[in-house]
Structure 1
Amino acid sequence: MVAVGRPRRADLDGVILTATADLLVKGGLAAAGVDAIAARAGVGKASIYRRWSSRDDLILDALLVCTASSLKIPEQMSAVEALEFHVAELAGVLSEPRIGPLLRALTARAQADDALAGRLRERWILPRRTVARQLVDRALHEGSVDPGVDVELLLDELVAPHYFRLIYGLPALSREAVAVSVRQVLRGAGVRDHGEGASVQDLSGTTGDGH
């Protein structure tokens, strides 16, 4: 968030963010103009601009607030288990009706807006990549991943299928299929077979509550 003033109401940020998310889900980026957000939130435009310097920053904050919990990893998991959990959380977020379409729209808009593309990388991609990198580092320390693995490529391989499915409107993988996908990638990085019997194709196609 880019704050340019001190809020007068402790709950007003949440009201504005909720109004923004609602408009984005119902009508996309075009529906979430500052006038429309202010009207839906029941605030003046000045209240918005005291808290966010631009509409893009507000929209990104609406996305980030809704998905913050997906970066948390439960304690007492092995590094490999934590990687499976982390990727499953990402896949679940991308399949959420309130989140997936917004991220897809922002990504499309960023193709013609270098500044927005940079903010998406900095505020969406990099925090998630940092978590995944820390987990891979743990796996290397635990000896469960080949020390010669290309970490950057491994990080791409773990998450790329889920962004591909989002961008091209393919069905999200079920949580079980996500686990199979992650294990297949990790096997290539030297992790032992966990004994899965199903293929990703067998388990794909479940969205929403099935992730």
Structure 2
Amino acid sequence: MSAASSPPRRPRSGNRRDEAARLAVLHAADDLLVEHGFGALTVEAIARRAGVAKQTIYRWWSSKTDILLDTLIEDSEKRLPVPAEEITAGTVRDYLRGYAHFLTDDTAGAVLLALLAQAQHDPATATAFQERYLEPRRARERAMLARGIATGALAPRLAPEAALDALIGPLVYRALTGAEVPGDLVDALVDAVLRPAAD
């Protein structure tokens, strides 16, 4: 049989198995974090919960912090995307309400808060958290505000960076202290900080 007429090769299943193991590790990490907290979380426990060898984990990640960062990045992109469409005050308000829900009711939000706390006394975590998660998300959030400003839908009282701090900071603070984030707080922040045009 010639090469041209030979049947196509079957796709290898290794990548599929690797992806299944990777996802199992990510899910195990955020579940165990919620159940036991950051201090009690170990690579050994993650491996047991995920049903993979510890060596498999260390082939892909160097620490539990790296695993949690991958979990946070992946879950944030799925569950809390930064709006990329035409921006109005309502768009920003909905994003902030989603952010509040993410922080207080989602396992991925618990990962974010745990990494934020760990970053306060671990420089390596702080650097990785800033470079891999905070700054890429902040860049998308700045672009969101810039689109709203360009169309006249938003007129912030502060520079965009400070405006984002004023909008998101209170949500994170309340989540860190275990308080709820009421919808009227989000509304008040948007009205006070962004001086929105009528939706």
Short-chain TM bin:
0.7 to 0.9
Gaps of 5+ in 2: 1-13
**Which residue in 1 is equivalent to 2:194?**
186
Aligned partner (choices 10, 14, 39) of residue 19 of structure 2: 10
CA distance in 2, matches of 1:128, 1:86: 13
CA distance in 2, matches of 1:179, 1:29: 33
Task: Give the root-mean-square deviation of aligned CA atoms.
Answer: 2.4
Q: CA deviation at 1:154?
A: 1.1
Gaps of 5+ in 1: 1-5, 195-211
Q: TM-score, normalised by structure 1?
A: 0.76
Give CA deviations for 1:55-83 in whole Å, capped at 9, x if unaligned. 210111122222222124274x4343332
Query: In the alignment, is the contact (CA less than 8 A) between 2:152 and 2:197 conserved in 1?
Result: no
**Which residue in 1 is equivalent to 2:43?**
34
Q: TM-score, normalised by structure 2?
A: 0.80
Q: How many residues align?
A: 184
Q: Report the identity percentage.
A: 34
The 5 Å alignment of 1:10-159 reads 10-69=19-78, 70-73=80-83, 75=85, 77-146=86-155, 149-159=158-168
Q: Which amino acid aligns with 2:43?
A: V
Give CA deviations for 1:2-43 in whole Å, capped at 9, x if unaligned. xxxx96533111111111111111001123201111111111
Give CA deviations for 1:160-191 in whole Å, capped at 9, x if unaligned. 110110122221223x542343122212xxx3
